[in-house]
């Protein structure tokens, strides 16, 4: 392999440094990662959209005091992998528990989760792997609560690390 070939990059797929403080939050259809307009109070900063696969990395924020949107009567899933890092605030999944700053979760394709909401609002870093994000909403109702039981789905050797969020007094 020539030196040129070793160092060649596809400029369209190059991940460059981004100063997220210089980026505006974007709502509505323009800020959406699914092609459908975002709900009121939700905005994104798109950090990377792969030109070939439409995989995405983004910041995702929501205002406080919201339960699941009307379309989320039960769980939702995606036909691609979704990975969430909680940067600030808290995010509740009624089936799995509450995430706080440093909280992390991911789902394989079509693993259903939720419904979701937040009393404090949140700022998330989300990565979508395996194609553009698409939502599939279950028709089967699942009860929502802001104080769910800590119930993550973890392999045995990860279970010691999956502790409940320790500051529920924020509520
Ligand atoms: Fe999801």
For 90-121, write each residue's pLDDT tens digit: 999 999 999 999 999 999 999 999 999 999 99
Domain, as residue range, for 44:
23-160
Identify whether 18 is part of a domain: no
Say if strands 97-99 and 74-77 run parallel, antiparallel, or are unpaired: unpaired
Q: Tell how far the Cα of 46 is from the centroid of ligand 1, in angstroms.
A: 17
Average confidence score pLDDT of the chain: 92
Identify whether 167 is part of a domain: no
Q: Tell how far the Cα of 124 is from the centroid of ligand 1, in angstroms.
A: 12
Identify whether 52 is part of a domain: yes
Identify whether 70 is part of a domain: yes
Identify whether 1 is part of a domain: no
Identify whether 13 is part of a domain: no
pLDDT higher than threshold 70 for residue 54: yes
* Residue 55: predicted pLDDT: 94
How far from the centroid of its chain's Cα atoms is residue 67's Cα?
16
* Domains in the chain, number: 1
Strand-pairing partners, residue 141, are 74
Please report which confidence band the pLDDT of residue 9 belongs to, taking 50, 70 and 90 as the band edges: confident
Q: What is the average pLDDT across 25-29?
A: 95
* Residue 88: predicted pLDDT: 97
Q: Tell how far the Cα of 86 is from the centroid of ligand 1, in angstroms.
A: 13
CATH, residue 84: 2.60.120.10
Q: Is 0.85 surpassed by the pTM of this model?
A: yes
Q: Give the tokens for residue 40.
A: 């009121």
Q: Tell how far the Cα of 133 is from the centroid of ligand 1, in angstroms.
A: 9
pLDDT higher than threshold 60 for residue 170: no
Of the listed ranges 11-20, 42-51, 76-85, the one predicted with least confidence? 11-20
Identify whether 82 is part of a domain: yes
Q: Tell how far the Cα of 108 is from the centroid of ligand 1, in angstroms.
A: 10
b/e burial code for range 29-39 (CB count within 10 A of at least 16 → b): eebbbeeeebb
* Residue 13: predicted pLDDT: 84
pLDDT higher than threshold 80 for residue 4: no
Identify whether 168 is part of a domain: no
Where are the strands (E) in the chain, listed by range?
42-49, 56-62, 74-77, 81-89, 91-93, 97-99, 104-107, 116-117, 122-129, 136-141
**For residue range 116-163, what is the model confidence (pLDDT) as tens digits?**
999 999 999 999 999 999 999 999 999 999 999 999 999 999 989 889
């Amino acid at each position: 392999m020539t030196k040129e070939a070793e160092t060649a990059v596809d400029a369209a797929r190059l991940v460059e440094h981004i100063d997220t403080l210089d980026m505006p939050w974007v709502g509505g259809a323009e800020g959406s990662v699914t092609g459908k307009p975002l709900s009121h109070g939700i905005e994104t900063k798109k950090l990377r959209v792969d030109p070939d696969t439409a995989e995405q990395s983004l910041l995702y924020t929501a205002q406080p005091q919201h339960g699941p949107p009307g379309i989320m009567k039960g769980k939702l899933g995606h036909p691609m992998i979704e990975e969430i890092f909680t940067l600030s605030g808290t995010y509740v999944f009624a089936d799995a528990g509450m995430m706080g700053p440093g909280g992390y979760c991911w789902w394989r394709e079509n693993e259903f989760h939720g419904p979701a909401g937040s009393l404090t609002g949140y700022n998330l870093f989300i990565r979508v792997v395996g194609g553009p994000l698409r939502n599939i909403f279950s028709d089967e109702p699942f009860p929502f609560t802001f104080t769910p039981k800590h119930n993550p789905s973890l392999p045995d050797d990860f279970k010691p690390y999956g502790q409940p969020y320790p500051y529920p007094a924020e509520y």
